[in-house]
Structure 1
Amino acid sequence: MLRKHGLTSDLVVDATMVNAEGEAPRQGRHGGGPLLGHPRRRWRELLRVVVQNQNAQFESLYLVGTRLGLISAMADTFPELGVTASDCIEMMWIQSMLYFAFYGMGKPLEMLLDRGTSKPDKYLKAKPDSLLKDGVGLLILDPYGGEMVRVALAVTPFPHRQALYNI
């Protein structure tokens, strides 16, 4: 929703701010203090929620056989994914180290000996966290960009407009 429509406050042209007592004092565009922002009048656009297909990509190693073995295992375990041979790349384990280090396909294995003079095709910054107790986990990725970038920071302050995701 953020990528497609931006922030709600980007779309509001006029609003009546209502406090807990039901009073509607006007104090600028975003109200202030204890006021509860409640859009009451018109919007720039009428938002319509459309169910969209979701797309996700998972990269992993299958170390117990060939591509055909993986396809068979995936068909038995997750038939709804419809994994085919074209979804898989078969390579030696050492080549997968280059692939997962963002150097891509077809690069010489000697690149693994390089101590930092060559740059990978992509960049990864990671912050690991350790779980101390087993339990249910949840990771939420809020996609930014799209419509979020179109609205200038001066119009509606939101410092993360240029970001791709919030984790």
Structure 2
Amino acid sequence: MQTKLLTLAFIEIALAIFVSVLILFISFKILQKVFFKNISIRENNMAFSVFSAGIILSIGIILGEIIPSITNMVRLSMSDAHQITLSIIIQYSGLYLFIGFIFAILINTSVFLLFSALTKGINEFKDIQDNNIATAIIVTATLLSITLIAKDSISLLISALIPYPETTNFLL
């Protein structure tokens, strides 16, 4: 049995679960406090539930692109060739998550701006508060579409920030 690989797998699983739960919790609380102060999941507002599920899924898709970069940092730190300390892992992880959070906000904001521009005279927030399921589904589908389109670019940006070891060009 490869103890180092097993340890790495457990670290990656724990890290992914911890980071995902933390980010989703914070995002949901921000969503409730900023946009929907008077609405709760306990109320019978299906539109809010659909919209919240779309936001959570969008953030999950973005996190799915960020977590592998964080685990790559952990893998690099466990190799003998590259010296990455725990503080460096935490700094880079914080940077990656901050970038992902900023992109999640940008995507959500752009969806609302796009949807508002396409549907003049419709207030999406008011419709969702009034339990208009059709509005919630269309806004959520737009949000998920843009997230799916942008996720690979976010992944590329995050991957470019991983401090891989320097290599020499032996062909020169």
TM-score (norm 2): 0.18
Of structures 1 and 2, the larger Rg is shown by 1
Q: Larger % of helix: which?
A: 2
Q: Which has the higher contact order (CA 8 A, sep 6+)?
A: 2
